[in-house]
Chain A
Amino acid sequence: MTHEEFESIAALDAIGAASAEETRTLNEHLASCNSCRRARDEYAEAATLLARELPPVAPPPEVREHVVETIADEDAEEERARFSNRWWLAIAATLFLALWGWREFGIRVARENVRSQQAQIERLKSENALLHEQKEKLSVEMSSLAAPETREIALAGQQISPTASARVFLEPGRRRAIVFFQSLPSNPKDKSYQLWIIRADQPRPQSAGVFDVSDAGNAQIVIENLPLATEMKALAVTLEPKGGVEQPTNTNFYLMGNS
Chain B
Amino acid sequence: MDTTSEALLPSVARGDTTAFESLYDRYSSTLYALLLRILANPEDAQEVLQETFVKAWTNARMFDAARGSEIAWLISIARSRGIDRLRSRKIRGDRENDAGREISIHSSFVEKTTGADKAVQSQESSAVRSALSELPEAQRVALELAYFEGLSQSEIAGKLGEPLGTIKTRMQLGMKKLRERLQAFK
Once the chains bind, are A42 and B183 in contact (CB under 8 Å)? yes
Interface residues on A, range: 35 or more
The tally of CB-CB contacts under 8 A between chains A and B is 173
B121 on the A face (CB < 8 A): yes
- The answer to whether B75 and A14 touch across the interface, beta carbons within 8 angstroms, is no
Contact residue among A17, A48, A49, A59 (Cβ-Cβ distance under 8 Å from B153): A17
8 Å CB contacts to B: which residues of A26-63?
A: 39, 41-60, 63
Whether B152 pairs with A50 at a CB distance below 8 angstroms is no
A15 close to B (CB within 8 Å): yes
B54 interface residue (CB < 8 Å to A): yes
B57 touches A74 (CB 8 A): yes
- Bound Cα distance A39, B172 (Å): 13
A16–B152 alpha-carbon span in the complex (Å):
8
Indicate if B178 sits at the interface (CB-CB under 8 A).
Answer: yes
B72:A59 contact, CB within 8 angstroms: no
Interface: B99 (CB within 8 A): no
Q: Is the CB of B147 within 8 A of A56?
A: no
Checking A47, A53, A58 against B114 with a beta-carbon cut-off of 8 angstroms, the contacting residue is: A58
Interface of chain A, main secondary structure: helix
In the complex, what distance in Å separates the CA atom of A87 from the CA atom of B67? Answer: 40
* A71-B182 contact in complex given A17-B153, A48-B76, A52-B1, C-beta closer than 8 Å: no
Q: Does A189 contact B (CB under 8 A)?
A: no
Knowing A17-B146, A50-B147, A68-B17 touch, does A43 contact B179 (C-beta < 8 A)?
A: yes
State in angstroms the CA–CA spacing of A50 and B183 once bound together: 15
16 CB-based A-B contacts, threshold 8 Å: A12-B168, A15-B147, A17-B146, A17-B153, A39-B179, A42-B183, A50-B147, A50-B178, A51-B34, A53-B128, A56-B117, A57-B109, A58-B29, A58-B117, A63-B46, A64-B21
Instruction: Point out residues on A near B: beta carbons under 8 Å.
Output: 8, 11-12, 14-17, 19, 39, 41-60, 63-64, 66-68, 70-72, 74-75
